[in-house]
Every structure is written in C-alpha cells, then in structure tokens.
C-alpha cells in the first residue's frame, strides 16, 4: 500500500512539474514577443487568389490589458483605431465620426477583412492566463527543435478557440508555429512565424503568416518594420480621447 501511494504521489508530482514547465515556456515566449510594453510599425498584406490589399499599421501596448492600434494607410482607412482597456474594446471610425464598443461576440470576426480575428489583434484573451498548458512530444519545425504545447481553455475564460497547439523553439523560446482549432476540434487557422532577426534589440520572428486551413491560395501576412520594447508609456495614453486624435 505504501508503494502504491508513493507511486501515485510521484505521478501526481510529475504531472504538476510538467504543467508548470509548459506554462513557464508559454509565459517566457509570450514575454519575448510583447515585453512589459511595446510599440510597432508593420504592414499587413491580405492575399486572395485574385487580389491583394496592403494596410499600414502602428500599434502600442502595455502589459496584457492596454493596447491601441492605428491604421495609417490606405487613405480610406487612415485614422481608424482600435483600443483595448482591460475588458473593454473600442473602435474609432473617423469617416463616420463614431466610436463603437465591440461586444465579445465580435472577437471571432475578421479584423479589417484579413485572416486575423479581432481577438488575434487586440488580444482580448491571453495564452498565458486563459488556458491550461500541457507539454506534448518534441518536434522539428524548419530545422528548429521545438516544444509542442497544447492549450485548452480554462472554464469561463474569454477565449474564441477550442484548443491551440503552440510550437516553441527550445534554444530561444520563440513561437514558431501556432494551430487554432474550433470547439469541435477542427483546424481553422495556422500561423507561421518567420524571418527571425534582431528588431528593437530582440531576436524574434518579424513575419507572421496566418493561413486558413480550408481556403486555398488565401493568407494574411504581417511584416514588422520597426519595434521598440519596454518603452515609457502611461496608462492615460490608452484613452478614448487619444484613440480619436492619435497619428
């Protein structure tokens, strides 16, 4: 009986350590891409079989609760902005002089006609806080040794995905590949993270490709041109008033 009890305790302890390790890997990989705060300039290219569209973007973020995204081109979308303050999400439409509060039901909808969702861009959900993490078998992605970690939603968490597979490089803890599944377990989107180089003093992927699993010839590319990390930025920067006037 003592041996059986000891075995159960050891198995339970082993599972706990694995779960903690997986969470720590996810946390460190996410922090590498975000920092305590950041700003960025990027180009988003939406590719379809018979057309493509480019959108220029500026963004600012502080922690996981504050973010602001500004569209700077094309002309018809210039000045459009998206603000996240804690659990509240807002959209400023300068053409109609209107601020729209986005409900949680819109998080799964396409962002600016792209293959990214509103949740992908404003990060209403957190891969660190809102999911359980399970370390699965190691794998090789583009000649990088990677951890494969399964993310499953915590009960009541504001998430849009049924589960997520995240592949993170062992050497540098960089996100390399992410697979998004719906509540029924069907693969919906695949995000490939490429062009790993120094930007803003960090060596991270600077090209994100979101590819719908069942749409041939369709994807959206985000290419970072400039990034800065751990910048000095106040909470007041992320206000409805600033969202309307930011340039």
Q: How far apart are CA 66 and CA 91, in angstroms?
A: 14
Does any domain span residue 126? Answer: yes
Does any domain span residue 202? Answer: yes
The helix or strand, by DSSP H or E, that contains position 109, with its residue range, turns out to be none
Q: For position 207, what pLDDT does the model report?
A: 98
Q: For position 180, what pLDDT does the model report?
A: 96
Q: Please report the sign of the dihedral spanned by the C-alpha atoms of residue 192, residue 225, residue 57, residue 157.
A: positive
Q: For position 123, what pLDDT does the model report?
A: 65
Q: How far apart are CA 46 and CA 225, in angstroms?
A: 17
- Summary mean pLDDT of the chain: 89
Does any domain span residue 68? Answer: no
For residue 10, give its domain range. 2-53+111-231
Look at residue 236 and tell me whether its pLDDT is greater than 70.
yes
Does any domain span residue 103? Answer: no
Q: For position 53, what pLDDT does the model report?
A: 97
Does any domain span residue 90? Answer: no
Q: For position 120, what pLDDT does the model report?
A: 80
Look at residue 68 and tell me whether its pLDDT is greater than 90.
yes
Distances (CA, A) of 193 to 95, 155, 169, 176: 34, 29, 11, 5
Taking residue 182's Cβ as centre, other Cβ atoms within 10 Å add up to 14
**Per-residue confidence at 107, pLDDT binned at 50, 70, 90?**
confident
Q: For position 20, what pLDDT does the model report?
A: 57
| Residues 124/107, Cβ–Cβ less than 8 Å | yes
Look at residue 17 and tell me whether its pLDDT is greater than 80.
no
Pair type for strands 131-135 and 98-101:
unpaired
The CATH number linked to 148 is: 2.50.20.10
How many independent structural domains does the chain possess? 1
Does any domain span residue 116? Answer: yes
Look at residue 18 and tell me whether its pLDDT is greater than 60.
no
């Amino acid at each position: 009986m003592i041996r059986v009890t000891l075995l159960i305790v050891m198995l339970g302890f082993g599972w706990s350590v694995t779960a903690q390790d997986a969470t720590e890997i996810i946390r460190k990989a996410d922090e590498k891409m975000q920092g305590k705060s950041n700003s960025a300039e990027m180009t988003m290219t939406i590719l379809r079989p018979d057309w493509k569209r480019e959108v220029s973007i500026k963004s600012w973020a502080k922690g996981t609760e504050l973010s602001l995204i500004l569209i700077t081109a094309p002309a018809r979308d210039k000045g459009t902005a998206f603000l996240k303050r804690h659990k509240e999400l807002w959209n400023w439409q300068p053409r109609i002089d209107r601020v729209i509060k986005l409900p949680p039901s819109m998080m799964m909808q396409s962002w600016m006609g792209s293959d990214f969702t509103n949740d992908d861009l404003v990060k209403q959900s957190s891969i660190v806080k809102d999911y359980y993490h399970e370390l699965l078998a190691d794998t090789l992605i583009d000649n990088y040794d990677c951890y494969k970690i399964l993310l499953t939603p915590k009960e009541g968490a504001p998430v849009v995905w049924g589960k997520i597979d995240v592949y993170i490089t062992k050497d540098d803890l960089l996100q390399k590949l992410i697979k998004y599944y719906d509540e029924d377990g069907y693969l919906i989107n695949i995000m490939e993270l490429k062009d790993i180089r120094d930007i803003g003093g960090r060596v991270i992927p600077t090209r994100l490709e979101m590819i719908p699993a069942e749409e041939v010839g369709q994807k959206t590319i985000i290419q970072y041109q400039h990034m800065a990390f751990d910048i000095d930025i106040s909470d007041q920067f992320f206000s409805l008033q600033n969202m309307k006037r930011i340039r």
